[in-house]
Amino acid sequence: MIALKNDKEIQKIKEASHIVFLAHEAVKNALRVGITTRELDKIAEEVIIKNGANPSCKGYPKGSKNPFPATCCISINDEIIHGIPSNRKICSGDLVSVDIVADKDGYFGDATRSYVVGERNEEAEKLIKVTEECFWEGVKNAVLGNRISDISYAIQKHAEQNGYSVVREFQGHGVGFEMHEDPGVPNFGKPGRGPRLQEGMVLAIEPMINEGKRDIIENDDGWTITTKDGKLSAHYENTIVVTREGPQVLTLG
Ligand code: MF3
Ligand code: CO
């Protein structure tokens, strides 16, 4: 079931999304060669808590034997998603993806950024640029009259036109009242399928794009997902709302 959000609820989701944005700004400002992913995680968590919100990923899913132990998912180079913060130090030229979810008063925002740290890394920079463009191609299609897979198709098309591949095992999702809601938002597929987009639909659109092949490996830690071929992967995500006036991105300010 897809839960549509009214204006009041969208306002609350905007508030949570703004806190996610602030946490990302703090992490971006702290990112440098030699900092550990655990230190970055702490910085994000402090911002979230200072603003009266909760780090939604920490302890998720509730009741699990192996819940996610941190505020941020930090995924480096061939890590696609769900990297666990640790004492690993960021190296010069690393491609670092940071995924943050926060909830306040029961409303959730979700966003991911990818960066190159230190020296230039043209391959990684190009991959990040195309991944962000994939997001925007998807958002352009988040309009009334379209269906979910029109977003998916646009993302896949842009990635593959640039010689990259799309991760298929993970996808975007509805968000707002919970971290993960219906509908799923795949990053690939034929256009014109899936639920019709409606006013008040809040979606996390999140392309995960690989430099090489799309195949993945699940790590022994039960969380980290890496590319099978060891090549780079980038991730970019924002929470958006579908309105009569077009899509509005909530995690950019
Ligand atoms: N931002 C991630 C997502 O879009 C959150 C999952 S990480 C978890 O699904 F640790 F909470 F599972
Ligand atoms: Co998400």
Q: What are the C-alpha distances in Å from 204 to residues 84, 108, 172, 248? A: 21, 10, 5, 12
Both tokens of residue 63? 């009741």
User: 152-189: per-residue pLDDT in tens?
Assistant: 999 999 999 999 999 999 999 999 999 999 999 999 99
* pLDDT of res. 215: 99
How many angstroms does the Cα of residue 237 sit away from the middle of ligand 2?
7
- Protein residue with its CA nearest to atom 7 in ligand 1: 57
Report the residue count for the chain: 253
In the reported structure, the alpha carbon of residue 175 is separated from the centroid of ligand 2 by a whole-number distance in angstroms of: 8
Give the ligand with the smallest distance to the CA of 203: 2
According to CATH, the superfamily of the domain at 7-249 is Creatinase/methionine aminopeptidase superfamily (3.90.230.10)
- Of the residues 64, 73, 80, 187, which should be mutated to test ligand 1's pocket, given the most ligand atoms within 8 Å of the CB? 73
> Ligand 1 centroid vs 221 CA: distance in angstroms?
15
Residues with CB under 6 A from ligand 1: 57, 60, 68, 73, 82, 99, 101, 110, 204, 206
Instruction: Output the pLDDT for position 17.
Output: 99
For tokens 């966003």, the residue is 111
What average pLDDT does the chain have?
99
The atom number, within ligand 1, closest to the CA of 60 reads 11
* Residue 57 alpha carbon, nearest atom of ligand 1: 11
Ramachandran area for residue 239 (φ above 0: left; ψ -120 to 50: alpha; else beta)? beta
pLDDT digits (tens, 9 = 90+) for 178-235: 999 999 999 999 999 999 999 999 999 999 999 999 999 999 999 999 999 999 999 9
Note the ligand closest to the C-alpha atom of 97: 1
Q: How far is the CA of 82 from the centre of ligand 1 (A)?
A: 7
Quick one: pLDDT at residue 146?
98
- What pLDDT band is residue 18 in, cutting at 50, 70 and 90? very high
> What backbone phi and psi angles, to 5 degrees, belong to 109?
-130, 150
* Rounded average pLDDT over 108-133: 99
Name the residue ranges covered by the structural domains of the chain: 7-249
Contact between residue 195 and residue 154 where contact means Cβ atoms under 8 Å apart: no
Confidence of residue 37 (pLDDT cuts 50, 70, 90): very high
Q: How confident is the model at residue 57 (pLDDT cuts 50, 70, 90)?
A: very high
- Measure 122 CA to ligand 1 centroid, in angstroms: 28
What pLDDT is stored for residue 157 in this prediction? Answer: 99
Q: Which residues surround ligand 2, an ion (CB under 5 A)?
A: 110, 204, 206
Ligand closest to the CA atom of residue 222: 1
The pLDDT value given to residue 83 = 99
